[in-house]
Structure 1
Amino acid sequence: MRFFVFCLILGLAAAAPKSKPTFRRGLNRIVGGTEASPGEFPYQLSFQDISFGFAFHFCGASIYNENWAICAGHCVQGEDMNNPDYLQVAAGEHDLDANEGNEQTVILSKIIQHEDYNGFTISNDISLLQFSQPLTFNSYVGPIALPAQGHSATGDCVCTGWGALTEGGSSPSTLQKVTVPIVSDADCRAAYGESEIEDSMICAGVPEGGKDACQGDSGGPLACSDTGSTYLAGIVSWGYGCARPDYPGVYCEVAYFVDWVLANAVTTMKIFVLCLLVAGALAAPKSKPMFRRGLNKIVGGTDATAGEIPYQLSFQDTSFGFAFHFCGASIYNENYAICAGHCVQGEDMNSPDYLRVVAGELDRGVNEGTEQKITLSKIIQHEDYNPFTISNDISLLQLTQPLEFNDYVQPIALPAMGHAASGECIVSGWGTTSSGGSSPSVLQKVGVNIVSDEECRDAYGESEIDDSMICAAAPGKDSCQGDSGGPLACSDTGSTYLAGIVSWGRGCAKPNYPGVYCEVAYFVDWVEANAV
């Protein structure tokens, strides 16, 4: 009943947060800060994804030595740890929009995420980024020291990153800095709850709010100088809101992990690495490249027409002050949508009011009058979703108000439980019409053929394709990571139904590597039991 829901909302508003808002994809924000000068923070890195054909800045990081950087564990969650050649760091960066001649961009060769990182509690939120070639140190590029193991930081510290000067303000491209004092563990636990702040975390902020690092600055440095010299005290991790009074920013406490860094940030002999690379090139892939943040890509597709795919949704994040499209989804009924499990990993399942879906969308760059934009009220991720094997990669998105069905907005049927799809199917999403091409804003569609489990296992390896997955491919045609969560629609039964959810794949439309989808027929009973 509405009165009961209203009471729940009031209760939540009055209570301290019970979950940790984690890293949200996208832009940086330093609130209450000022512009840094070139070379003032030579240890600052911009962590970037280049898989879209341009450099997409999504996290910060800090230079440890010429071969390694230190970052947050959550920034690398779901990345290809052993083959991260689509990721790079930019050192000596000041203005992201200008080439000032001081920049050094280096591709990653390896990522080491802390083995005890927990995406739900955000514990042990640290990772190491290995460079494919060493940095050259100069006045604009240099390392930051580590504290002694177990050292307790005190006093004023400096947090840096690229982003807006005020919450909700414009986002300059120049590096920002903000000074925040260390907050005691006792005060931080009083704000967030005793169990939320672990010994491996450190907090900083002013009680009245107004100064902070926010989600997009994740992975970046909190630098302190209470020892007489500057050292890396914290890694931007999480927080409640952005520069809110009484809620300090929460950082991974580096002093807790000094021994771990020293044990792991070691450079292997080049000849051994070369042998590994040759062996890797000859072998079938052993890991699953997962969803990468950002833009969509349908390769080999064509423009859809208005209302042709009425079940298609654009899944968007509005927390940046604009609508950032990051996944697709499908309309199940007027109150629920079906999406991939990995698209919602790390989101606030019970209060996702910063996320929305857009139905009736064709051209995302134009308001055509057919769109319906609805915020989410709840997310249900499959309880057995596994981000490492990408098993059970399905979720449900509950809408705050029902969709109105018309010629442009319609649900898609589910298959019978256990039904085996066959023949040609249609996958849809927004993105480039050719690999590496430009990105039109118009919805794309592409025809792909169902591939047998046997053929798919031959391509990826017997253990990689489980019974909850289905594969599809056609020469030169594919959906890529950014189309995650979107529909694979088949019609072998005589009517259109949702056969798959875009999940993962090796590369993009690569020969002999079909796209891998969550097989909806495996989860019909789960959907019907939860979408109530």
Structure 2
Amino acid sequence: MIKMFWTGLLCFGFLALCAAAPNKRAVIDAAGCGMRPLLSDNGASEMTATQARIVGGIEAVPYTWPSICSFMTDTGYHICGSTLVKNKAGVFYLVTAAHCVSQRRASRYLARCGMHGMATANPDSVLLTFSDMVLHPQYSDMTFENDIAIFTLVNQPNTNDFVQPACIADQPYYGGEGSIVAGWGTLSYGGEMASTLKQVYKPIKPDATCAIRYPGEFEPANMMCAGEPEGGVDACQGDSGGPLYTYRNGKWYLTGVVSWGYGCAAPRNPGVYADVYNLRTWIDTIIN
């Protein structure tokens, strides 16, 4: 099978400083993150419900993932997903996958946040422009290690029910932990892009399982994987750079960034994600 990035196109219309590693449990983002204000239970019930496109998923309740954004070219083509986070001072940044970034000028990209439908009106959405971007200095477009990039916004959006930051993972995942992946990617490998935001529940796999599924390719120092043994649920083309969320202590955390896989939702081929917790030292040096 062909190793894939989950980028896609849909019309709708570097330097990093090194620093001493902080305490990994130390807070590196703003208080009040990880909320879904339009849901009465903050979405907690979605972590126990059985979800039967992202592939094999369901349509998200409109506007209830306020941290997810469509990452686009400056001409309005959807390339990837992305996620809003805030630093300790309360300043928004945008996180996506490094492989989504082909141009080396931040001004060549836009993001639209607070949206649900790709081709419908989203009256509370905001369009973001960027003044700077940083790709992880050890990102490899051969192995897809450290597949993460951070964008600095030109102007800060208002925080409201439709635009909110996700929390940044402050503890490691564990095998079997539930997660939700969301995006506007294709509904099947090589299929049509989703017209509205989709989400899918996926269990996170232990590193040992990921290494067995991808021998010589999975790097536990900066990757994680998630999926069902029989396949059927996954991110796909156009979902790259988007969030893998975990729900911890009443908050939604950005725990993974959609990176790569073999096909979409194939049996015994879980999706692979950049591991936000293991990359948080670098994230901290950029946003703080």
TM-score (ref. length: structure 1): 0.43
The separation in 2 between residues aligned to 1:133 and 1:200, in whole angstroms, is 31
Equivalent of 2:181 in 152, 155, 159: 159
The separation in 1 between residues aligned to 2:223 and 2:146, in whole angstroms, is 8
Partner of 2:168: 146
Partner of 2:55: 31
Displacement, 1:231?
0.5
Paired residues, number? 242
Displacement, 1:172?
3.3
The separation in 2 between residues aligned to 1:31 and 1:246, in whole angstroms, is 15
Residue 108 of structure 1: SS of its match in structure 2? Answer: strand
Cα pair 1:224 1:230 within 8 Å, conserved: yes
Equivalent of 2:117 in 85, 95, 103: 95
Cα pair 2:189 2:263 within 8 Å, conserved: no
The separation in 1 between residues aligned to 2:192 and 2:150, in whole angstroms, is 31
Partner of 1:57: 78
Change (3 A) 1:156 1:97: same
Partner of 2:126: 104
The separation in 2 between residues aligned to 1:23 and 1:147, in whole angstroms, is 22
Show structure 1 runs of 4+ deviating over 6 A: none
Code of the residue aligned with 2:109 in structure 1: it is: L
Code of the residue aligned with 1:42 in structure 2: it is: P
Partner of 2:203: 181
Partner of 2:4: 21
Displacement, 1:171?
3.2
Cα pair 2:3 2:261 within 8 Å, conserved: yes
Higher gyration radius (CA): 1
1:433-453 CA-partner distances (Å, limit 9, x unpaired): xxxxxxxxxxxxxxxxxxxxx
Change (3 A) 1:98 1:27: closer
Displacement, 1:169?
4.8
Matched, 1:255 2:277: yes
1:346-425 matched pairs, under 5 angstroms: none
Residue 30 of structure 1: SS of its match in structure 2? Answer: coil
Cα pair 2:189 2:237 within 8 Å, conserved: no
Partner of 1:44: 68
Residue 57 of structure 1: SS of its match in structure 2? Answer: strand
Partner of 1:480: none
Instruction: Compare relative contact order (CA 8 Å, sep 6+) and give the higher one, 1 or 2.
Output: 2
Displacement, 1:170?
4.0
Partner of 1:86: 108
Cα pair 1:23 1:74 within 8 Å, conserved: no
Partner of 1:438: none
Which consecutive residues of structure 1, in runs of 5 or more, have no partner in the other structure?
1-16, 267-532
Residue 74 of structure 1: SS of its match in structure 2? Answer: helix
Percent of aligned pairs with the same residue? 36
Partner of 2:225: 203
The separation in 1 between residues aligned to 2:128 and 2:7, in whole angstroms, is 24
TM-score (ref. length: structure 2): 0.78
Higher helix share: 1
Residue 94 of structure 1: SS of its match in structure 2? Answer: coil
RMSD: 2.0
Displacement, 1:260?
1.2
Residue 190 of structure 1: SS of its match in structure 2? Answer: helix
Partner of 1:236: 258
Residue 211 of structure 2: SS of its match in structure 1? Answer: helix
